[in-house]
Structure 1
Amino acid sequence: MRSLPKPIAAFYDVFDLCMEGVGRAVLKKNYEDIRGDLYKDASDYDVLAAQGDLWKIVPNNQLKDDVVVGNVTKKQLRGLYSNYMVAEGKPGRAIYDGLMASAPLEMCPYCGVGRVSTLDHYLPKAKFPRLSIVVENLIPACKDCNMGTKGTAVAVNAESQPIHPYYEGVDFNSAQWLFCDVLQTSPATIIYYANPPVSWSPVDRKRVGAHLKSFDLSARFSFQAAEELSHVRQTFIQYYRNSPSNERRDYLVQLETAEYALRPNSWKRAMYQALSNSQWYCDGGYQ
């Protein structure tokens, strides 16, 4: 996964931009009446996210037409996002576009392989409608991460939370936790798993596993690795067929070193590392 800097847009500025797009006077007044309530929700979110405690926010299980706060229904709270931030031509769309553009190289921060195509509500708006336009809760993501296993799932404890790119990306990339094994098949198979440092807290150790599960990353990374393995195989056949195994290993170590400098927990770094450590693969298992 990859870290992202926290958005700098203030809640009131985002809220006011969305209000500029509301045409119905009564609805606009109802929204403005709960402005302070939603600001407090945004402030509480920021504090809890910094502590790794977003799981403590209680999900809302009301029906879509039930009133949640003031005179505003659950459907209308969710509409703040879909109708006044996402909708083309609305002033709030500038916030949406800015968040979408914040991911370097348009790469999804959750997985690091997909192209950003949407905004994901870290705490899903279906269960947390009061947070629908809180920018810290909006993560630029690929379709697979936004619509996949995570979906509208809600963490029930600290260890079941996926990693938050805005608040925790840097800390969770301070050491390697993503590894893989090389299976002696033909062609070779790469299997990914989490193995964080023993010095990490028990909660953090479980969270990296939860992150892999939330976005089905073990299977998705193995799929990516299969394609990369074909390129490594072709390189070895063309340039290293008659070389000793240690030269093939040195080549893989160089690839791993370069990838580590960019992303310590990328699927590529883990794959090159595992391949270089596999005597079977370097001796000829690549064929």
Structure 2
Amino acid sequence: MYSLTPPNRDDWEDFLVMCTRRAPENRSVLSGVSAQVEAAYVDYHRQYQKPSRLSAISITKEQSDALKGNFDLFDVGRPFRTLRTQLMAEARNRKCPMCGHRDVATLDHFLPKSVYPEYSALSINLVPVCPYCNNEKGNKLGDAAGRRFVHAYYDTLPEMELLVADVTVDSSVFVTFRIDRPSGFADPLIDNLEYHFKELKLGECFESEAFDELTGRAGMFHYQYANNGGEQGLAAMLSVEAVSERRKAGLNSWRVALYNALARNRDFCSSGFRLLSREDWDF
């Protein structure tokens, strides 16, 4: 999970150009609603941190369909395909900002175009994401308490460990993930992050990824323990992994949370890593 640099576009100019690229009958319809769209664009930017509180403009179904059709101009071979490519390219290492680990492949309408057709082609409303997050988010706007999804362009996560992993060593190694609210930290962004984490089922997703990561690296853990300082050597290696991943993916990556938790867990570093594989590693 991480933030993106907002696109630097003249969105109103883009809208006017889009109108000229539509069929004549659509141009006429869009012209009739253009003043409302211009005002809506201004409102979107004014509602910094609170875009989900915007009210959709009052328009006919014909006008709504025409506005939603502007997004088709982002398709392959269409006039705004270059803008789509530019927006997708902003994703760090091509990873989805909503989950932080799947590849981006689509643009999500932060405010869904089915509800807010006026924002169907507004660049600040188009976030490059993976298909999973796009599908899980769907047309949801938020909950009754006012919580919403984290907006990758508008929301900047504080530089603190918000995504944490808990490691339990018993008959095997169990890893769970959660959002950790710092004591006394009342920022509503944390409320949104908790909603975001729950609605996208990121806990279950990260747990599955962590299992594959640990079992795939079981041999490395054995080697490090046997040849580079035992428990302390393994803990040091895990800390280095966390730092390396942080530089690549940001502080609130699931891998950062995982390796920080492993490095701090004495049960894992002393012998628990052996539970990851039945193979007798001989180093």
Q: Give the TM-score normalised by the residue count of structure 1.
A: 0.87
Give SS of 1:209's match: helix
Counterpart in 2 of 1:104?
92
2:239 pairs with 253, 257, 261, which one?
Answer: 253
> What is the Cα deviation at residue 206 of structure 1?
1.6
**What's the CA shift string for 1:160-197, capped at 9, x where partnerless?**
2111111113xx14221100111225541210000032
1:2 equivalent to 2:2? Answer yes
Counterpart in 2 of 1:200?
185
**What's the CA shift string for 1:134-156, capped at 9, x where partnerless?**
111100010011012x2111214
> What is the Cα deviation at residue 71 of structure 1?
8.2
Give SS of 1:234's match: helix
**How has the CA–CA distance of structure 1 residues 58 and 260 changed in structure 2, closer, same or farther, with 3 Å as cutoff?**
same
Matching residue's letter, 1:36 = A
Give SS of 1:69's match: coil
Counterpart in 2 of 1:271?
258
| Contact 2:4/2:153, CA 8 A, preserved across alignment | yes
**How has the CA–CA distance of structure 1 residues 158 and 90 changed in structure 2, closer, same or farther, with 3 Å as cutoff?**
farther
**How has the CA–CA distance of structure 1 residues 206 and 70 changed in structure 2, closer, same or farther, with 3 Å as cutoff?**
closer
Give SS of 2:31's match: helix
Q: Which moved more, 1:139-148 or 1:70-79?
A: 70-79
Inter-partner Cα distance in structure 1 for 2:245 and 2:194:
22
| Contact 1:145/1:215, CA 8 A, preserved across alignment | yes
Identity %, equivalent residues? 25
| Contact 1:21/1:92, CA 8 A, preserved across alignment | no
Task: Provide structure 2 residue ranges, at least 5 long, that are not aligned to the other structure.
Answer: 275-283
> What is the Cα deviation at residue 125 of structure 1?
1.0
Please, what is the CA RMSD of the aligned residues? Answer: 2.1
Inter-partner Cα distance in structure 2 for 1:228 and 1:144:
20
Counterpart in 1 of 2:68?
78
Inter-partner Cα distance in structure 2 for 1:279 and 1:43:
54
Matching residue's letter, 1:15 = F
| Contact 1:225/1:271, CA 8 A, preserved across alignment | yes
Inter-partner Cα distance in structure 1 for 2:150 and 2:215:
31
| Contact 2:4/2:91, CA 8 A, preserved across alignment | yes
Inter-partner Cα distance in structure 2 for 1:114 and 1:142:
6
Q: Which moved more, 1:180-189 or 1:36-45?
A: 180-189
Matching residue's letter, 1:105 = N
Alignment of 1:115-264 (within 5 A): 115-148=103-136, 150-156=137-143, 159-169=146-156, 172-201=157-186, 203-241=188-226, 243-262=229-248, 263-264=250-251
**What's the CA shift string for 1:210-260, capped at 9, x where partnerless?**
121232211111111112212442112223236431221111122222333
Counterpart in 2 of 1:33?
32
Give SS of 1:241's match: helix
Give SS of 1:180's match: strand
Inter-partner Cα distance in structure 1 for 2:13 and 2:85:
15
1:87 equivalent to 2:86? Answer no
Q: Which moved more, 1:12-21 or 1:155-164?
A: 155-164
Number of residue pairs matched? Answer: 272
Task: Provide structure 1 residue ranges, at least 5 long, that are not aligned to the other structure.
Answer: 61-67
Q: Which moved more, 1:90-99 or 1:6-15?
A: 90-99
| Contact 1:3/1:168, CA 8 A, preserved across alignment | yes
Matching residue's letter, 2:70 = L
Give SS of 2:108's match: strand
**How has the CA–CA distance of structure 1 residues 159 and 188 changed in structure 2, closer, same or farther, with 3 Å as cutoff?**
farther
1:19 equivalent to 2:16? Answer no
Inter-partner Cα distance in structure 2 for 1:272 and 1:14:
44
